[in-house]
């Protein structure tokens, strides 16, 4: 039985992937945090139940996913009592394995995970460290699992996910520019999301390097080359790297 402490967007995506269109979905327990979200999920999926407390989730589940904000981790974990044989999987960015093992004792299997929103469509590539069987048993159901060789590498993957909002803001900038040119806002948004959605699909099916794919979209002397050169001239790649370095420093304390 899977239990989730914390009921935000990440939990929602994984629960949907575990439940939607599945012939025999697993039983899932949700914490009362984000109660409205939990009730909505329980209303859609008969295998989902909202518990009266976080401890009730921990008491009844064999695999527990911790998905609360890292700032609340110490407060939430202080209220929980685990037992031997349970698996504790933390999706709390920056919370170290050493700390998790201390909080989760005497649970014998503790790991960190980075599920992606695509879990809702069972297309997540979930980073898992260390390679805990209970983690695979859960996240293989919502996509694929990637196991790095060290916790520091997991931190690097976690840092990469910090670029999501900036990427979407980049697309919003394009939409706003199109609107400034007189394009209807709805059409501008539809066009931008369509072309970049299709670009994302080409990424999924591409087996070579990103540099090779970039070359396919960039004619020498063409407009794609011009924009890339302008952005590089403005120092955008360096700004991205510096921002990632700062996030990495934050996650590693």
- pLDDT 10s digits, 232-242: 999 999 999 99
Give the count of domains, the chain: 2
- Using the predicted structure, report yes or no on whether residue 34 has a pLDDT greater than 80: no
Confidence (pLDDT) at 28: 98
User: 166 with 92, same domain?
Assistant: no
User: 139 with 168, same domain?
Assistant: no
User: 224 with 140, same domain?
Assistant: no
CA 81 to chain CA centroid, nearest Å: 26
Q: Which residue has better confidence, 243 or 213? A: 243
CATH code of 66's domain: 3.40.50.720
- pTM for this model (two decimals): 0.91
| Confidence band, pLDDT 50/70/90 cuts, at residue 80 | very high
Reference 85, options 66, 68, 64; nearest CA is: 64
User: 140 with 214, same domain?
Assistant: no
**Domain around 233:** 162-251
Of 123, 147, 171, the residue at which a domain comes to its end is 147
- pLDDT 10s digits, 99-121: 999 999 999 899 999 999 999 99
What are the b/e assignments for 44-66, b being 16+ CB within 10 Å? ebebbbbbeebebbbbebebbbb
Report whether 90 contacts 80 (CB < 8 A). Answer: no
């Amino acid at each position: 039985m899977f239990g989730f402490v914390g009921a935000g967007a990440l939990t929602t995506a994984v629960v949907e992937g575990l439940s939607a269109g599945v012939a025999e979905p697993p039983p899932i327990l949700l914490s009362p945090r984000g109660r409205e979200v939990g009730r909505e999920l329980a209303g859609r999926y008969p295998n989902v139940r909202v518990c009266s407390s976080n401890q009730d989730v921990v008491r009844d589940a064999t695999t527990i996913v911790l998905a609360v904000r890292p700032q609340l981790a110490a407060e939430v974990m202080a209220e929980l009592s685990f037992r031997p044989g349970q698996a504790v999987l933390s999706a709390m960015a920056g919370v170290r394995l050493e700390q998790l093992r201390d909080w989760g004792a005497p649970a014998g299997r503790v790991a960190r995970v980075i599920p992606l929103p695509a879990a809702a469509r069972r297309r997540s590539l979930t980073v898992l460290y260390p390679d805990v069987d209970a983690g695979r048993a859960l996240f293989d159901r919502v996509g694929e699992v990637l196991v790095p060789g060290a916790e520091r590498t997991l931190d690097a993957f976690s840092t990469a996910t910090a670029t999501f909002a900036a990427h979407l803001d980049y697309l919003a900038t394009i939409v706003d520019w199109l609107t400034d040119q007189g394009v209807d806002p709805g059409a501008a948004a539809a066009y931008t999301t369509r072309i970049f959605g299709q670009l994302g699909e080409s990424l999924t099916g591409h087996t070579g390097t990103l540099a090779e794919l970039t070359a396919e979209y960039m004619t020498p002397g063409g407009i794609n080359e011009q924009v890339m050169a302008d952005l590089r001239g403005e120092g955008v790649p360096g700004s991205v790297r510096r921002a990632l370095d700062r996030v990495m420093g934050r996650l590693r304390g």
